[in-house]
Amino acid sequence: MGAPPHSKVRQDIRELNPRVIEARREFHQHPELSWEEHDTQVRILRRLSAIPGLEDVRPIARTGATALVRGNGEPCVVWRADIDALPVPEKSGLPFASQNPGVMHACGHDAHIAIALGIAELLAADPSALPGSVRFVFQPAEESCGGAEACIADGVLDVPHVARALGLHISADLAIGSVNVAPGPFFAAPTTFTLELSGLGGHAAAPHQAVDSVVVAAHLVTALQTVVSRSIAPMETVVLTVGKLEAGYRGNVIAESATLSGTIRTYTDAMRDLTIRRVEEIAAGVCAAFGASFTLAHDTTCPPLVNDDHVTSIVRAEAEAFFGAGHVVAAPSMGAEDMSVFLEARPGCYFWLGARNEAREIAGRHHDAAFAIDEDALALGV
């Protein structure tokens, strides 16, 4: 049996929508940080266990959960939803605001949970209509990274064998009723770096007797701006940002040391390696010029997210049929997302679902204390 027509799906979603909104609000009130999603896990498992037709409902990856809708035939698709929150004190003013001080679902993962639960309930109501099975994965620790690997290590792609991977991210930047999806690199690989500079401290009135780490750091920050503009080919996409600089402890003391830390975003290993090499070479040159020394540490926490061409073409066609071609855009992001780990293991597609509604003054920003979404987007996600 083929998939039901869009009109039937829309009607089923309308009936389901109040429960999806209620679920989102429950999880929004009870956010938990990466690897601390114990209560979240319990709530997800309780809801999954209450859905008739779901199989293999169980905890995974320490604080995650999984369930299976078993349809007809061999193909199996995984639908992944991340579940962790952020260390952000909520200032949204919502009546269902966070009850966990200092922690907030400020990136929409509460919506991801609710949408996945809604899809599971919708599909489990008539599994015979499915030409294959759907494995639902509620993944912990996306914000810190590591959760995707833990889920895969627990075998979520193995029994039944998963052939494709799908998921979405709610967007406070994209208008409601819109989808952003594109083949190829869609999210970047995040690389953090730290430069420790060592000079020679001294009295501020005798700078000739010291090696001023503040001056070295200032020159280095400026010099690093040339990495992207002068060392990277114009057709490549790379971001290098120094986001933190620490040095000194008194205004009349020349700082002996300084620390610079930042992030690099790239779509390929080659560009990452080139950028890191240039950071090291520039740091060596600047430090040599001033008589300082340095150490460089860097870490790439997850690979770039690359959407499969074929699967993405199917997702885009469905989005255009549902939302209209004028509401589907293709705009890759330099953000990072460890759904990339699933998409390294299986071909698939990850996309943005719009939830911004300026007409209703719902226009928050991700990772912001006032983050908000239009809940009408939840039904569209289902």
CATH number of the domain residue 203 falls in: 3.30.70.360
Instruction: Show which of 300, 327, 356 is a domain's final residue.
Output: 300
Residue 117 included in any domain: yes
Cα–Cα distance for residue pair 251/255, rounded to 1 Å: 9
User: Domain range holding 279?
Assistant: 189-300
For residue 360, the domain's CATH number is: 3.40.630.10
| Pair 181, 216 in one domain | no
Q: Which secondary-structure segment (H or E) carries 300?
A: strand 293-300
Q: Tell me 200's DSSP state.
A: B
Residue 108: alpha-carbon gap to chain centroid: 10
| Pair 174, 261 in one domain | no
Q: Per-residue pLDDT tens for 18-77? A: 999 999 999 999 999 999 999 999 999 999 999 999 999 999 999 999 999 999 988 999
Please tell me the pTM assigned to this model: 0.93
Cα–Cα distance for residue pair 208/40, rounded to 1 Å: 59
Residue 1 included in any domain: no
| Pair 163, 219 in one domain | no
Place of tokens 């997702």: 315
Residue 269 included in any domain: yes
Structural tokens at position 90: 């909520």
Alpha-carbon radius of gyration of the chain: 24
Instruction: Show which of 300, 330, 351 is a domain's final residue.
Output: 300
For the chain (382 residues), the mean pLDDT of every run of 10, in chain order, is 60 88 99 99 99 98 98 94 98 97 98 98 94 98 96 98 98 98 98 99 97 98 98 97 97 98 98 99 99 98 97 98 96 96 99 97 94 96 94
